[in-house]
Structure 1
């Protein structure tokens, strides 16, 4: 039996009452493995030393930057053109973010990419891998980019805290627009 037949049989056994694009997930897993292999090859060819362990400050910086970049890519209204081939607009969810639904028509790979691109938790693995690879291959540039993303994340929390404090000061009244 060919690979497609095996995947189809596995999908029917795995989720007989729900569409789960296992073949598309395999493609995504293969692509992720390719990214890891590519990063590893570049590190070996360039003979770039890999740190024994990242510093605590780098882990915190990249963690916050991963959070912000994952949300920007997966939920921000401005980045919706990147997701549009794989998702469809559902509704705004506030503060410049949108909810999108994965497109059901098309291939399993298209569906899997829609899930990946619209889920900040799913996308975070890819973003963290890219930032970690950047930390090894171009540490100064990666720290600079991560610092900017971390600053935006801190600003987001301050904006939300300010809006919350303003609502409490105004007796709980909700302003016309929270994102002003």
Structure 2
């Protein structure tokens, strides 16, 4: 039904990866998460920082907080958005390539040893 080259698939995968990380983890998008959850860090007995997430509100607000804290959940919706942009709004292909390059760079940096 939808033909896709392997390089385009790689671009979509990396763009989805980066968009997911952008929404769930990056400070620049904390304003999206702030109405639904708060994150704090506490030191454990071993001296390591442990993340603690508190979901705000009830019902739909609580549900959005849970959704925005789950990279697997946001990954599904990010992937859907990326694929829809690719197939139905080709004007956004440049944005997808930029997200893909940033995703590849983030992945490589996370695996690089210093």
Q: TM-score, with normalisation over the residues of structure 1?
A: 0.52
Q: How does 1:23-172 map to 2 (within 5 A)?
A: 52-91=2-41, 99=51, 101-103=53-55, 105-139=56-90, 141-162=91-112, 164=113, 166=114
Higher relative contact order (CA 8 A, sep 6+): 2
Q: TM-score, with normalisation over the residues of structure 2?
A: 0.78
Query: What SS is found at the alignment partner of 2:27?
Result: coil
Contact 2:39 / 2:54 at 8 angstroms: preserved in 1?
Answer: no
Query: What SS is found at the alignment partner of 1:134?
Result: helix
Report runs of 4+ in structure 1 exceeding 6 Å deviation: none
Q: Deviations over 1:30-70 (max 9, x none)?
A: xxxxxxxxxxxxxxxxxxxxx63322222211111101100
Deviation at 1:88?
0.7
Deviation at 1:154?
2.0
Q: Which has the larger radius of gyration?
A: 1
Contact 1:68 / 1:150 at 8 angstroms: preserved in 2?
Answer: yes
Q: What is the aligned partner in structure 1 of residue 47 from structure 2?
A: none
Change (3 A) 1:101 1:161: closer
- Alignment length (residue pairs): 106
Higher strand share: 2
Deviation at 1:90?
1.7
Gaps of 5+ in 1: 1-50, 93-98, 167-180
> Structure 1: how far apart are the matches of 2:2 and 2:77?
22
Contact 1:64 / 1:153 at 8 angstroms: preserved in 2?
Answer: yes
> Structure 2: how far apart are the matches of 1:156 and 1:108?
34
Contact 1:100 / 1:118 at 8 angstroms: preserved in 2?
Answer: no
Change (3 A) 1:100 1:116: farther
